[in-house]
């Protein structure tokens, strides 16, 4: 019993977070104990997250209300074009381009075994429901903005099959050589795709 | 302005912690927003850290009192043998061996430029003071339990010079082949040290 219950409890709360192992958690707890200012700062930051809710339509964050988020309520956006992303940070990356003016569905990390979690099934059902009720049964386009990896391809084809009758068109983000990248270092698959979809 | 102030505040509080960059912090915040149970659990764990204090003698954690920690108040421990460690986790590792029955001084991470932080100077001064007042001016032994790296060696020699007249003996942890390790894969320096200090 080298560590007290309080320290252990805080360490175990940290280890429940993604990407934080027990060693890192221990380091964080001792750091916070010896930095009371940062501990208070973190407590304040986390407490204010208690007010943040999830948009019932796209599942992005929404504040100070139980209604829809600003993407879902923005009349200037094209609600018939829906980008399905795994993570909130993917949505943020797409927003930063300022090129996408449709709306979103955040699905959560897709498992590599191709089985949807209950929450993911629920979110897809809510999308289907929205398309049925608000778009007359079919969206213009569903962009499957899933990572271009083997698992991502698998998930995308699975989702496309599931959503088949709910959109006129299914697309994925283009694959190619990143801006500033070099042809010499592109892998064969990327280069094949860049050649095939040359524009 | 894709992210709200509340989300940004929580992200920035996380990025102040060691080993958490802005991307990881963002991921943690969105994870917590969609897992209210884990958010509450983390808040409870962190709140209880507010009661944890630092022992004014060895600088390990102490709870529910402003007095010394259980190592510093344990009469069965040898207070004339002091292990200087950088981190609380180093202390925990040494305690887990159950072989060390002296006391500790936690110094905090030593900078690679060999300059002590103010807090570290203060902790060393407090150790010197303890040795002068409670041990009659000299400890039996100071174990410089600093990592056996080039920087660690540098810090240890620096600390030994600084504490010269406060201990009869200065030691470091033995270097050698780890238990279960293989001679074939030991680097030259480790193997030289293991040979020289064979026992």
Beta strands B103-106 and B139-145 are unpaired
A130-A164-A59 Cα angle (round to 5): 35
Give the pLDDT confidence of A62-107 residue by residue, as tens digits: 986 768 998 999 999 999 999 999 999 999 999 999 899 999 999 9
Instruction: Name the least confident of B63-67, B138-142, B186-190.
Output: B63-67
Q: Contacts of residue A12 in chain B, CB cutoff 8 Å? A: 45
Out of A26, A46, A61, the one facing B42 most closely (by C-beta) is A46
Of chain B, the percentage scoring pLDDT greater than 90 comes to 73
Instruction: Identify the band that residue A140 occupies on the pLDDT scale cut at 50, 70 and 90.
Output: very high
Residue pair A67/A73 in contact by the 8 Å Cβ criterion: yes
Instruction: Identify the band that residue A3 occupies on the pLDDT scale cut at 50, 70 and 90.
Output: confident
Q: Which residue of B has its CA nearest to A24?
A: B19
Q: Contacts of residue A52 in chain B, CB cutoff 8 Å? A: 4, 6-7, 33
**Interchain pair A44, B88: CB under 8 A:** no
| Pairwise pLDDT comparison (B114 vs B62), residue with the higher score | B62
**Interchain pair A43, B47: CB under 8 A:** yes
What is the pLDDT at residue B1? Answer: 63
What is the pLDDT at residue A106? Answer: 96
| Average pLDDT score over residue span A128-133 | 96
What is the pLDDT at residue A135? Answer: 95
CA distance A6 to chain B (A): 6
Measure CA of the first residue to CA of the last residue in chain B; give whole Å: 66
* DSSP labels, B88-144: HHHHHHHHHHT---SEEEE--PPPTTSPPPHHHHHHHHHHHHHHHHHSTT-EEEEEE
Give the pLDDT confidence of B131-140 residue by residue, as tens digits: 999 999 999 9
Best residue in B6, B15, B20, B58 to probe A by mutation, most A CBs within 10 Å? B6
Q: Contacts of residue B52 in chain A, CB cutoff 8 Å? A: 4, 6-7, 33
Domains along the sequence of chain A with CATH? 5-50 (1.10.8), 55-171 (3.40.1360.10)
Q: Contacts of residue B95 in chain A, CB cutoff 8 Å? A: 2
Helix axes B88-97, A22-33, angle to 10 degrees: 120
Give the pLDDT confidence of B23-41 residue by residue, as tens digits: 999 999 999 999 999 999 9
Instruction: Identify the band that residue B186 occupies on the pLDDT scale cut at 50, 70 and 90.
Output: confident
Instruction: Identify the band that residue A1 occupies on the pLDDT scale cut at 50, 70 and 90.
Output: low
| Average pLDDT score over residue span B56-80 | 89
| Pairwise pLDDT comparison (A67 vs B58), residue with the higher score | B58
Of chain A, the percentage scoring pLDDT greater than 90 comes to 73
Q: Which residue of B has its CA nearest to A52?
A: B33
Of chain A, the percentage scoring pLDDT greater than 70 comes to 98
Beta strands A61-63 and A52-54 are antiparallel
Residue B187 has pLDDT above 70, yes or no: yes
CA distance B195 to chain A (A): 32
Counts of helices then strands in chain A (DSSP H, E): 8, 6
Residue B64 has pLDDT above 70, yes or no: no
Q: Contacts of residue A10 in chain B, CB cutoff 8 Å? A: 45-46, 48-49
Out of A29, A44, A51, the one facing B49 most closely (by C-beta) is A29
Instruction: Name the least confident of A15-24, A183-192, B138-147.
Output: A183-192
Q: Name the DSSP letter for residue B185.
A: G
User: Which ipTM value was assigned to this complex?
Assistant: 0.84
**Interchain pair A16, B88: CB under 8 A:** no
| Average pLDDT score over residue span A5-29 | 95
Q: Which residue of B has its CA nearest to A10?
A: B45
Task: Provide the 10 A C-beta neighbour count for residue A91.
Answer: 24
**Interchain pair A19, B23: CB under 8 A:** no
Out of B6, B31, B36, the one facing A18 most closely (by C-beta) is B31
Average pLDDT along chain B? 92
């Amino acid at each position: 019993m080298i560590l007290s219950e309080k320290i252990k409890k805080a360490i175990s709360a940290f280890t429940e977070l993604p990407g934080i192992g027990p060693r890192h958690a221990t380091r964080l707890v001792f750091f916070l104990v010896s930095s009371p200012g940062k501990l208070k700062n973190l407590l304040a930051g986390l407490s204010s997250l208690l007010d943040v809710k999830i948009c019932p339509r796209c599942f992005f964050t929404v504040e100070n209300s139980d209604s829809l988020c600003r993407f879902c309520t923005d009349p200037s956006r094209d609600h018939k074009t829906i980008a399905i992303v795994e993570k909130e940070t993917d949505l943020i990356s797409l927003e930063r381009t300022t090129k996408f003016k449709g709306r979103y569905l955040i699905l959560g990390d897709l498992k590599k075994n191709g089985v949807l979690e209950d929450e993911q099934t629920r979110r897809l059902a809510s999308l289907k429901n929205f398309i049925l009720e608000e778009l007359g049964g079919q969206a213009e386009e569903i962009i499957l903005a899933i990572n271009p990896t083997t698992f991502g391809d698998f998930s995308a084809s699975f989702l496309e099959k599931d959503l088949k009758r709910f959109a006129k068109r299914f697309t994925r983000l283009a694959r190619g050589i990143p801006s500033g990248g070099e042809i010499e270092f592109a892998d064969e698959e990327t280069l094949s795709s860049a050649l095939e979809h040359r524009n």
